[in-house]
Structure 1
């Protein structure tokens, strides 16, 4: 082998390693809010606090991602018209805990950003839903949609949009891109949603979209699924595999989860939504499939928004088998963060 060929091989190796090692870019839309605000759901809160546990888990894993933005209270609850600035709440509730833990996380693991900030959704106070008869030519009134568009504009790589609730803001963005013929932006977007479709859980074979996250804004949900089916966007539908895989297969008992409470993020994770002897962090499926080596990867899910029952069942079983490993990884990181 000549010297030139050797150098070429070395260059190709490092180029491929760089691609593999590159952190996926992430933007999160969540309906999460302060769980002390009273509401009408089964937990007597405005929004289901499972996203609080899911977010704490994400922050424990934050060195694996390039976080571009996290939008909170992307939801349609009337109580949020006057519920106070939820970005301030999130930046205090999560931000302070993260800042305290990140020193030890970087000391013992490494690669964590110094700070992660939260943004309040532009639809939080208006409770606006997607209008299927409207062409969203401008994003002037949709700040948190425009912020994601700006990130996509300047990014040379795909941005993964994790959808943990209503699909209103993602639908407005896709509509805007189509209306303005910005198909170049759509090529750099990858939507990964939890439980906006399931024939097995909540939904039925006749109406798999009859699930909470789709019903929240049915027009937005149907629009995105149609665009995905037509190949306009890439949309990975996880179904209920977070709830019935990661959560159902998790270790049980307060003794196990008490181990998390010695770190700030671990405490938030374990207490965010603790029900039926375990932590409910079902939306976390969206980032575990993105990582890809924890039982289920994006290769196991269709990219056109469909979710066949046999595929969902298989992925659910894979997460069931991997759940203990996932929780042990979260616990390892929580212990690494201990002060």
Structure 2
């Protein structure tokens, strides 16, 4: 407030200090304004002078920011990468983590912990997981228990399994929900859960599996599709530039995370089919969701030419026109 009054005083010296005021008093008033002491007196001087010149009464308004407003402003400007986020909080990622933790605690409290030679994840036994809704291809197909395509995302084999998934969800999942919006995030998460369960039933029908790893891989797949679709989009606004910068920063970590998880998918007690199915489902859903952000016709043309070119090459009919168009677009 003091700086604003000081600027106003320098800009309109005659308004704050009439001609009949001595230079000594002006100097004293300037010193008080610099030190921030006599704000109310300066405001009163402005109001009285304006009222005397115009014949209209004036009302002083306090434009100072409260502490909460200052904190919010500093939090928004502190991290430029968050300028493009659609929302401040991530309710669904937090809710899923709480529900998953609560369910595992209830299972361990009611049914105990299985020996490590049966469940090395420090959790209940396979029969308990199956009773609580694990993925079981026989029960899904023969008995029609289709809910088991979705319930495995809420269950975890043990503390180690839960800790790994919850940490990723609270870090990357939380950030991407704030970036994409809760609706898009939930669509990717649930769709990837379904895709991982279906893929696991097809390629590993004999296994009983639980966990949100497939859904987490779906989030990584959706983020990968967003990076590929919008990798060369040049934003004009501040939010678009922040989004482009964030995608470049996240590209290596997303690819590295996918490689690490897929490498761990082939160790014992891990359902590689669920991981791969969730990754593929999330990638496809991301292609659908984020393709609406296209602003350049060149990428639409690339995604149209590339599939048709490779389909013709597979049939032994090389599409020379498609290759020429693709080379022209990439030049």
TM-score (norm. length: structure 2): 0.22
Q: Tell me which protein shows more helix as a share of its residues.
A: 2
More strand by share: 1
TM-score by length of 1: 0.21
Greater Rg over alpha carbons, structure: 2
The structure, 1 or 2, with the larger RCO (C-alpha pairs under 8 Å, 6+ apart) is 1
